[in-house]
Chain A
Amino acid sequence: MSRHVICPSSELESGERRIVEVEGLSIGVFNVDGEYHALNNACPHQLAPLCEGTISGTTESDGVGEVDWVRDGEIVRCPWHNWEFDLTTGESVFNPHEVRAGTFEVDVEAPADAGAPDEACACDAESYGTELAGDEPPVETYDVDVEDEAEFGEEMVVLRV
């Protein structure tokens, strides 16, 4: 398993996503209400770029004609054929046990542990629904003073593949 520092957590806010290329894979990294999740950017149906679809919710029903809007912000809809997937598990909505998108471990780490974002992630990442990180890795501009680090340093989003 390899470890990739994606970006400071402030650059991937709740509701946002970032699509990165690591280890020859395209992977979508999502912040869902403060929790980070990563999905393979390839739909199990026809390998379309699943992670580039709309993030929204889905519907449930307690009976014919009754519709509840649920899981708002937790569902990504593949731009080809509209299959819905749960961002937090990779499971499809229509058949969660058999049809799933691949998932990866993603977490945040304290700046001292994380290090700078990967060159590949910072420069080659496609950003969707969010601004690309600046040209310079933001960590380089941080105050490196040890006393200030806890207060001013940022957590980094780290992906394991």
Chain B
Amino acid sequence: MAQGAGERTPSDPGEAPTLIDCDVHQSWASDEEIRRHLPLEFDRYGVNLPNLLYNNPGGVMREDAAPAEGELPGTTPENVAAEHLDPYGIDYAVLTGHATNLALLPNRRYAAALARAYNAWVQEDWLPADDRLLGSILVPPQAPEAAADLIREFGEDDRFVQVLMNTASPRPYGQSFYWPIYEAAAEMDLPVAMHPHHDGLGISNPPSGAGYPGSYFEWHNILPAVVMGQLNSLVTEGVFVEYPDLDVVCIEGGFGWVPHLLWRMDKNWKGLRSQTPWLERPPSEYVIEHVRFTSQPIEEPERPEHLRQIFEMMHAEETLLFSSDFPHWDGDSPDHGLPPLDDDLESRIFAENARELYDLPR
């Protein structure tokens, strides 16, 4: 745990939350934890998720957060609490797991079975263990009807606060192929989140239109390009017109690019709107109203005041959610990740925006 952790204390019962972490990765220590929820048809498959073909020179999991040498951090609710929730005084943590890469599997039925097994594992092994933990319903975007069934099934459990899928896909997320997912999410009043996971593998496209990067470094730099493509598609294809109550969360895809994309969409819309006449307003308005971005990996411009300017340009007081990415190598400290902010903006980013989005108790 970092020095300086513990400067915050958890909010007292009955008080509004002051720190909500919107990206916490819990893991299974053994595949058996997931496998026991698989139907017999897939029992022999086990958990067969694609592994990234890029290597991080320092590994992906934080060594300092491991319960013991050689063990993975984040494999028990107790470890997540001891290493992360307790020292930082986190009121709620949205669990995002390590399985959105099932979106990369070509076998759509297996991907759906794996997603169901994952959700059952979260429901049984994680959510009852700690009231601070909130679940995400993992869905296979390549199987939208099965995804919608999962949303309706697990959405009945109000400890699940959002739908979760990968950012990488074989086709852009605005296309009507995916709309059953959005229809079910809107019906269950759940935001749809997307998180990068091994983008470029399996049935997904390369992480940018330029093709496959040559190193983990090059790959990690360009991950936001996928998010930009998905958001651009969601807005222009009219998802927020068709589902006016739907919210989307872009997790770990950066946000420094948000002003650029919004400005560019609004500028082009003035001359090109005739191609998407269903859009009733400038595109940026749909984004600011319906889309939320998580803070990690925080942008680190040369001068911290430039970050505050980006916050202003992207309407961070409405659109930005704090996230740590615990226990990954590139995570941000709740105490030291962001520069000092004025109190109002700080409370919006660190708690209030997420509290409103996920409809958490005040």
Interface residues of A (CB under 8 A from B): 26, 41-42, 46-49, 52-54, 77, 79-82, 128-129
Q: List 13 A-B contacts (CB under 8 A).
A: A26-B3, A42-B4, A46-B336, A47-B3, A47-B335, A49-B2, A49-B64, A53-B64, A77-B58, A79-B64, A82-B56, A82-B58, A82-B329
B333 interfacial by beta-carbon distance below 8 Å = yes
Asked whether, in the complex, the Cβ of A49 is within 8 Å of the Cβ of B1, the reply is yes
Asked whether, in the complex, the Cβ of B63 is within 8 Å of the Cβ of A47, the reply is no
Asked whether, in the complex, the Cβ of A82 is within 8 Å of the Cβ of B57, the reply is yes
Query: 1/0 per residue B311-333: CB within 8 Å of A?
Result: 00000000000000000011111
Given contacts A46-B333, A47-B333, A48-B64, contact A80 B2 (CB under 8 A): yes
Secondary structure class of chain B's binding surface, majority of residues: loop
Asked whether, in the complex, the Cβ of A49 is within 8 Å of the Cβ of B3, the reply is yes
Chain B CB within 10 Å, residue with most, of A46, A47, A49, A53? A46
B211 interfacial by beta-carbon distance below 8 Å = no
Measured as residues with beta carbon below 8 angstroms from the partner, the interface class of chain B is 20 to 34
B62 interfacial by beta-carbon distance below 8 Å = yes
B229 interfacial by beta-carbon distance below 8 Å = no
Query: 1/0 per residue B43-67: CB within 8 Å of A?
Result: 0000000000000111100111100
> Please, which residue of chain A has its CB at the minimum distance from the CB of B65?
A79
| Neighbour of B336 across the interface among A47, A52, A53, A129, CB < 8 A | A47
The CA-CA distance from A80 to B337 in the complex, in Å, is: 11
18 more CB-based (< 8 A) A-B contacts, given A42-B2, A82-B56, A82-B57: A41-B3, A42-B3, A46-B336, A47-B3, A47-B4, A48-B64, A49-B1, A49-B3, A52-B64, A53-B64, A54-B59, A77-B58, A79-B329, A80-B329, A80-B330, A81-B329, A81-B330, A82-B329
The CA-CA distance from A41 to B59 in the complex, in Å, is: 19
In the assembled complex, the CB of A122 is this many whole angstroms from the nearest CB of chain B, namely 21
Interface residues of B (CB under 8 A from A): 1-4, 56-59, 62-65, 69, 329-333, 335-337
Chain A CB within 10 Å, residue with most, of B56, B62, B331, B337? B62
The CA-CA distance from A41 to B1 in the complex, in Å, is: 11
In the assembled complex, the CB of A93 is this many whole angstroms from the nearest CB of chain B, namely 12
The CA-CA distance from A124 to B3 in the complex, in Å, is: 17
The CA-CA distance from A158 to B64 in the complex, in Å, is: 25
Secondary structure class of chain A's binding surface, majority of residues: loop
Note all chain A residues with C-beta closer than 8 A to B57. 77, 82
Chain A CB within 10 Å, residue with most, of B1, B56, B336? B336
The CA-CA distance from A42 to B4 in the complex, in Å, is: 9
The CA-CA distance from A128 to B329 in the complex, in Å, is: 18
Given contacts A47-B336, A80-B329, contact A54 B3 (CB under 8 A): no
Note all chain A residues with C-beta closer than 8 A to B4. 42, 47
> Please, which residue of chain A has its CB at the minimum distance from the CB of B298?
A46
The CA-CA distance from A154 to B329 in the complex, in Å, is: 39
Asked whether, in the complex, the Cβ of A46 is within 8 Å of the Cβ of B64, the reply is no
Note all chain B residues with C-beta closer than 8 A to A52. 63-64
> Please, which residue of chain A has its CB at the minimum distance from the CB of B59?
A54
| Neighbour of A53 across the interface among B63, B331, B332, CB < 8 A | B63
